Amino acid sequence: MDTVFKLIVKEEGLFSFSLIANEVDYFYNQLGLNWAYFEHFTPTQIAKHIHCLIAAKKVAEIGALGENVKLSMLKKESALYLCTTPSQEEVRAEVENHINSASTNEAI
């Protein structure tokens, strides 16, 4: 957790220490992610995920979107989706499309 905090602070310097500390704490201790997530991704990758989540929250705040936040990080062979409840159905459809697309590409 400390490593992830330091990586986010070092990476951009756009957000305050207290905001980053609160978001890292929330991500690790309150979001409810399965611990397999933390074993699968490196601290650098987790730092990027949290940084993107902070940025998405700020965009939602600026755009008066409230808690309607959606974050997706896509690669051909993998994807990470994070969302708030209002975006859940939309993200579920995107995940299904990504899986179907990956399955179709593997069959070719």
What are the residue boundaries of the structural domains of the chain, listed by start? 1-66, 69-108
- The model's confidence at residue 94, banded by pLDDT at 50, 70 and 90, is confident
pLDDT over threshold 90, residue 42 = yes
In sequence order, the β-bridge partners of residue 71 are 82
DSSP-derived 3-state class of residue 75: coil
Ranked by mean pLDDT, which of 43-52, 59-68, 89-98 comes out on top?
A: 43-52
pTM reported for the whole predicted model: 0.62
Residue whose C-alpha is closest to residue 47's, from 105, 16, 4, 85: 4
Lowest mean pLDDT segment, chosen from 2-6, 16-20, 84-88, 103-107: 103-107
